[in-house]
Amino acid sequence: MTATPISTAADRNKQPILDALRKVLPRHGTALEIASGTGQHVAWFAAGLPDWTWQPTDADTTALAAIAAATAQAGLANVRPPLPLDVLAPQWPAAGPPFAEAFDAVFCANMLHIAPWATCAALMRGAARHLAPDGVLVTYGPYFEEDVATAPSNLAFHQSLRMRNAAWGLRRLQDVAEEAALAGLRLQARHAMPANNLLLVWGRYSTPSSS
C-alpha cells in the first residue's frame, strides 16, 4: 500500500486557517477548493465545518487519489470526490461538464507563489465566474505588502523559490488586488496568520464589506 503523502506545512497551518474560516464564512454553504494537494486541508476543514460541503480539486491528477484517501480516512460525508482542475484552463473543472452550481466560497492556499503569475488572473476570473453573488474567494499564503516590512524568512523563501523556478516567487498584494479588480473582486478582509502568512477574503464589488 502506498503511504498517503503528508505536508508538514499543511499540518501546522490547518487549525489556524480553520479558526479564520469560522470567522469569515457563514454557518453553512458549498466550497470549492483549488489546489487541494495532499487533501489535509479539505479533510480538516470539512470535519471542522460540518455544515459545509467541499469540492476538492487539483491540477495534478496524480494528487486526486491522495485527496480521496485523506477524506476517506476521516470518514467525511461532506466532501465530494476530487476533480482535476487547472485554473489556467478555459473551463472549470478540466474534465466533464463545467460546474453548474455557484459556490459560496472558493478557497486556495499556497498556490500563487509556486505557479506562474498568469495563474493569479486565472484564479480571480474563475472565482468570479463560479461564486454566488455573496460568495467569497479566500486565499492563504505569504505576500509582499507596501509599507509593511517583509520578514527575513519570507525574503529567503522568495529567493529559494526563484532559484527553483524563475516564474515562481511571493506576489505583491497590490498586484494581486489589481488582478482581482479586473475580475470584479475586491479585498474585503485581511487576516494576519502565523509564520508571516496572510488569509485574504475577496468578494464582489457589490457585496458589502464584512470587515
Query: Percent helix, strand, coil in the chain (nearest 5)?
Result: 40, 25, 35
Mean pLDDT of the chain: 94
Q: DSSP code of 36?
A: -
Query: What is the pLDDT confidence band of residue 2, given thresholds at 50, 70 and 90?
Result: very low
Q: What is the pLDDT of residue 210?
A: 44
Q: What is the pLDDT of residue 211?
A: 41
* pLDDT higher at 10 or 43: 43
Report how far residue 129's alpha carbon sits from residue 137's, in angstroms, rounded to the nearest whole number.
11
Span 48-81, pLDDT tens digits: 999 999 999 999 999 999 999 999 999 999 999 9
Q: What is the pLDDT of residue 7?
A: 83
Contacts by 1-10 with C-beta closer than 8 Å and gap 24+? 4/38, 4/66, 4/69, 4/70, 4/73, 5/38, 5/66, 6/38, 6/40, 7/37, 7/38, 7/40, 9/110, 10/37, 10/38, 10/40, 10/41, 10/109
Query: What is the pLDDT confidence band of residue 181, given thresholds at 50, 70 and 90?
Result: very high
Q: What is the pLDDT of residue 9?
A: 85
Span 117-166, pLDDT tens digits: 999 999 999 999 999 999 999 999 999 999 999 999 999 999 999 999 99
Q: What is the pLDDT of residue 95?
A: 83
Q: Which fold has domain 8-204?
A: Rossmann fold (3.40.50)
What is the model's pTM?
0.93
Span 165-177, pLDDT tens digits: 999 999 999 999 9
Residue keyed to cell 464582489: 204
